Chain A
């Protein structure tokens, strides 16, 4: 049997942290992706420009560099803001910019950019007739968006969301570098202390493998459900 030398509970807690981190980041990235795609398709030059700058900037910078910037820079910025508020208005404001928040913000921002592209493609794949029909029924723009566009574009977006999620899950490992005690961090400490790298890293790798394999099955099932009404030609 696998003997984890007493690190078992810590590793299990770390796995929970990894999963929490992944889910919070996914929620943020989906929100940003919807906003970004809406901005890109809004027709407004300013909004399109902002969204394009966002996706271009994110794709040029490594995730780790951005994470370090948010983690170390975020605290400096919060400290500066806190000093300023205290000196000018005597407001006592402070918060600790911890690794978990930095991780969620960074991963959310990065995958928000990828989700923007996914959603943009999916919105464009919705037939124009559907929108015209909704307008003909007197739906407002918001109503058309919510009742017609969103449900129909999700079907097209699903494979893209699935791919992004798989990459996102693996990116969470990086947050151990800025000190979050996720399972990678626990395994690293255990491996160093016990001098048994294979013994601790291979189970962690297996957990990641199980998570990606499980999500693959789940996405396949979702995809099947979402496409239930679609007749495919041969």
Chain B
């Protein structure tokens, strides 16, 4: 370790091995929470988005209502309803669900997943309905049935159109996950709040986590840019 860093670490009591471990645990919790909710949210959103494009209002209507409700209200309220609400469900404390839901992590995971699934459903639906008609006609002319058309033509083409909006949603979710600290989860923000209250040092505590989030954001931006280039490589000009 360079001397000046060692010296700096010796001189301050805020960034010592203990607090850095706290930040690290917080980082792990944040990444864990965001990653799981995004993956589950995406898996839920794809079938919902397909069903949302179905003409039958009894199929698409409930999904519309779900996305409308979750996109029209703040995530904080959704989190509060789930976090405080599960304990009030009659009889839940006697079932095995209580073992899961008495940890704040799972209500938060559920709230984040439902929220991101609602936004993602609308993103994918937008991409599906903007599929050029010619692509669908061509697929039909080849004799593909609905399922094959969806799998081979519509979804891959929609994925290309959705990736940019989805990258925004991922970053939004990373930032929104900071509210997990409100329900006593020690994520990155939670670690900063603990360290702030211990040392009464707002700048050190919060600017440091702000930088951590910024680093995570830039990594995500970089990864998505690579992914976008990969998915859209057939559209690049020939001589470049």
Contact = CB atoms under 8 A, between A and B. Distances in A.
Interface of A: 57, 59-66, 68-69, 72-73, 76, 170-174, 176-177, 184, 187-188, 191-192, 195-198, 201-202, 204-205, 208-209, 212-213
Given A177-B179, A209-B73, A60 B88 contact: no
Contact of A174 (B73, B76, B217): B76
B81 A202 contact: yes
B46 to A, nearest CB: 24
A212 B72 contact: yes
Contact of A173 (B77, B181, B203, B214): B77
13 contacts: A62-B178, A62-B213, A64-B189, A65-B206, A68-B196, A69-B206, A170-B75, A184-B80, A187-B77, A195-B88, A196-B88, A205-B73, A208-B72
Contact of B206 (A68, A172, A187): A68
A176 B79 CA distance: 14
Given A60-B218, A192-B84, 17 more contacts: A59-B217, A60-B210, A60-B217, A61-B213, A61-B214, A61-B217, A68-B192, A73-B203, A76-B203, A171-B74, A176-B76, A177-B179, A187-B80, A201-B85, A204-B77, A205-B77, A209-B69
Contacts of A76: 202-203
B73 A66 contact: no
Nearest to B182: A177
Nearest to A207: B73
A73 B206 CA distance: 9
Contacts of B213: 60-62, 65
B74 A173 contact: yes
Contacts of B75: 170
Contact of A191 (B80, B171, B179): B80
Interface size bracket, B side: 35 or more
Interface of B is mostly: helix
A63 B175 contact: yes
Nearest to B203: A73
A196 B80 CA distance: 12
Contacts of A68: 189, 192-193, 196, 202, 206
B129 interface: no
B81 A60 contact: no
B217 A197 contact: no
B81 A198 contact: yes
A138 to B, nearest CB: 43
Given A62-B174, A62-B178, A64-B189, A69 B84 contact: no
B148 interface: no
B77 A184 contact: yes
Nearest to B180: A64
B100 interface: no
A172 B77 CA distance: 11
B9 interface: no
B209 interface: yes
Contact of B72 (A66, A196, A204, A209): A209
A174 B206 contact: no
A211 to B, nearest CB: 9
B92 interface: no
A58 B46 CA distance: 31
Interface in B74-110: 74-78, 80-81, 84-85, 88
A170 B69 CA distance: 12
Contacts of A177: 76, 179, 182
B207 interface: yes
B76 A61 contact: no
Interface in B20-67: none
Contacts of A192: 84
Contacts of B174: 62
B73 A170 contact: yes
